[in-house]
Amino acid sequence: MPTQLSPHFSLEELTFSQTAARQGIDNTASPQIAANLVLVVGILEDIRSLLGDVPLHISSGYRCPALNTLIGGSRTSAHMNGLAADFTAPDFGSVLEVAQAIAASGLVFDQLIHEYGTWVHVGMAASGVTPRRQLLTIFKGTGYMPGILAAQ
């Protein structure tokens, strides 16, 4: 039985990784990571509501350091602290449209990144840290650029 963190998101959904399963990597969340994931599902629930209650398809949540290294994630990735999730919401629109809607809202987050035109990354600040509400875009070969941008 899944461990529900919120009405629409489970601990298993935010810790599952096909890569980890294939490589035999234990991606189990510690109690502190699980507590951080509660912050993440809070913003995911808010995003789901903002987008008209459409499902969010989570592609990445918590990543243990070994998994993050294996997939080439940033050495400072919020995913390793259970403070980020990558997702799409195809029933709402394109990844760009989803990112633009979130950016235009009053939702509080640390980072919102339109990544490679393929998914949206939302990161939360750790408890006690002021969220930056940073808006970024990255495409292959561009590095991070300020704002939520369309492909050139």
**Domains of the chain by range and CATH?**
11-146 (3.30.1380.10)
Tell me the Cα Rg of the chain. Answer: 15
Residue 151 tokens read as 């492909």
Q: How many CB atoms lie within 10 A of CB 32?
A: 11
How high is the pLDDT of residue 126? 93
> How confident is residue 152, by pLDDT bands cut at 50, 70 and 90?
confident
Note the pTM of the prediction, 2 decimals. 0.95
pLDDT of 56-75, one tens digit each? 999 999 999 999 999 999 99
Q: CA–CA separation, 27 vs 91, rounded Å?
A: 29
Looking at every residue in the chain, the average pLDDT score rounds to 96
Q: Rounded mean pLDDT of 28-56?
A: 97
Q: CA-CA distance, 130 to 50, in Å (whole number)? A: 22
103: Cβ contacts below 8 Å, ≥ 6 apart: 112, 135, 148
141 three-class SS: coil
Do the Cβ atoms of 121 and 112 come closer than 8 Å?
Answer: yes
User: For residue 19, which phi and psi values (nearest 5 degrees)?
Assistant: -60, -45
Output phi, psi for 2, to 5 deg.
-65, 150
Residue from 57, 117, 127, 52 nearest 85 by CA: 57
Q: What is the mean pLDDT of residues 13-39?
A: 97
The pLDDT tens digits of the residues spanning 140-151 come to: 999 999 999 998
